[in-house]
Chains A and B, each alone.
Chain A
Amino acid sequence: MTGYAIVLASGELERVQAVSMIGSIAAASETPVQVFATMNGLTAFEKETVESGDFEVAGPAGYAMLESDGDEVPLFTEQLERAKNLGPLEVYACEMVMDVMGNEIDDYVDVFDGVLGVSGFLQKASDKQVLFV
């Protein structure tokens, strides 16, 4: 077991939060984790989205997390930033989605280690268990 490569393709807050929690604890336990944020999963990281809190929400758990306002459950951005200081966690942005959306890496919150295409991600994921969210 050489770690997890997590494809985050959904922008639903519940899924993004779950990825950040599981990835964070794994990395903090010294298991390498790479998160590849693509499709709407990347949109959740846009500065505008994070600042406004206007996330895509799928159901009651997501609304409950939003209402807790970060007091109890830290937002995924905060969680990932913290975990990066505790263990081998890397977060990558999907180049294709950035192009389609007309975004630069500076349009996203500062948690990314770089920008990757599909080949780059597959190469990094080759020795890892892939989770698709």
Chain B
Amino acid sequence: MSESISPDVTVDSRGAACPGPLMDLIGKVQDADPGTVIELQTSDSGSKGDVPEWVEEAGHELLDTVEHDDYWSLYVETTK
């Protein structure tokens, strides 16, 4: 499934620790129109768990989490 996701925006937060990646994502989400697919790249394992919590709480949708060699891609679709 992940192969078919082509993000509208990619946020490279690799190298940043919690809560940097989440802050990067929130900044993009606030500027994005509904239906925008954002790929958040993070090498922080804490963010891998924390970001989905925020996405759910904020009412957006986590499409997929893809593990790469040294980072993760979290695909988020904005709903509002």
Cα distance A24–B20 when bound, in Å? Answer: 10
Interface segment, A1-9, A48-56, A69-77, A102-110? A69-77
| Complex partner residue of A29 from B16, B18, B54, CB under 8 angstroms | B54
**Complex contacts, A73 vs chain B, CB 8 Å:** 17, 20
Interface of B is mostly: helix
Given A86-B26, A86-B27, A86-B30, is A29 in contact with B58 using a C-beta cutoff of 8 Å? yes
**Contact in complex: A72, B26 (CB < 8 Å):** no
| Complex partner residue of A25 from B16, B30, B54, CB under 8 angstroms | B54
Interface residues contributed by chain B, number (CB under 8 Å) = 14
User: Which of A24, A25, A28 has the most CB atoms of chain B within a 10 A radius of its CB?
Assistant: A28
User: Which of B16, B23, B58 has the most CB atoms of chain A within a 10 A radius of its CB?
Assistant: B23
B34 located at the interface, meaning its Cβ lies under 8 Å from any Cβ of chain A in the complex: no
**Complex contacts, B22 vs chain A, CB 8 Å:** 25, 28
**Contact in complex: B23, A24 (CB < 8 Å):** yes
B15 located at the interface, meaning its Cβ lies under 8 Å from any Cβ of chain A in the complex: yes
Task: List residues of chain A with CB under 8 Å of any chain B CB.
Answer: 21, 24-25, 28-29, 68, 71-74, 79, 82-83, 86
